[in-house]
Amino acid sequence: MAKKKTKLKSVAQTPKVYEFKVSLQGTSPVVWRSFLAHEIIDLSELHMLIQMTMGWEARHPYEFKINGKSYGEIDSDFENDMIEAEGITFGEAIKSSKNFTYIYDFGDGWQHDVEIVSVLEHDSRMIYPVCIGGENACPPEDCGGPPGFEDLKKALAGKDCEEKD
């Protein structure tokens, strides 16, 4: 019986590197971050990367909406169409889309627009992931979403704001 020969690549294929820009909706001025990460990170790792670069504390559920599908942490107490994020690489989920949505803290409803700015070759001099830019501080956890954040900014500036129940 003849053995089947397999060709080995002389150089290991390196993953592509994506440049992401994450912008928090409903804030003025806009809170945003840019970072680089490999396409092989899974969506649960991308969640943690967004958490760290934005300044969130990862205390609440999250969801990615990519190409009409929802990814996140599966909660057996709730029936939904969410796909478990852990184990799904970003490269598998994104396909040809350049934009998607990341939602953090369903109570406060923080929505983030995520844009793939560019796809780069791996640079062996870099350590990935890496934050490469951003502006403005992230709102504090549990401040009530964009309306609560606006009220908080007014209160800190000494301006009147509506009392919320």
Q: What is the pTM of this model?
A: 0.85
CB 31, CB 136: distance < 8 Å = yes
Residue 43 domain flag: yes
Residue pLDDT, tens place only, 2-22: 555 544 443 457 889 999 999
- In this predicted structure, what is the pLDDT of residue 79? 66
The secondary structure of residue 89, as a DSSP letter, is B
Residue pLDDT, tens place only, 36-63: 999 999 999 999 999 999 999 999 999 9
User: Which structural domain, as residue segments, surrounds residue 81?
Assistant: 17-156
> 């790792």: which residue's tokens?
45
Residue 6 domain flag: no
- In this predicted structure, what is the pLDDT of residue 11? 46
The per-residue pLDDT of the chain, averaged, comes to 89
Residue 162 domain flag: no
- In this predicted structure, what is the pLDDT of residue 10? 36
CB 98, CB 18: distance < 8 Å = no
The enclosing domain of 31 has a CATH number of 3.10.290.30
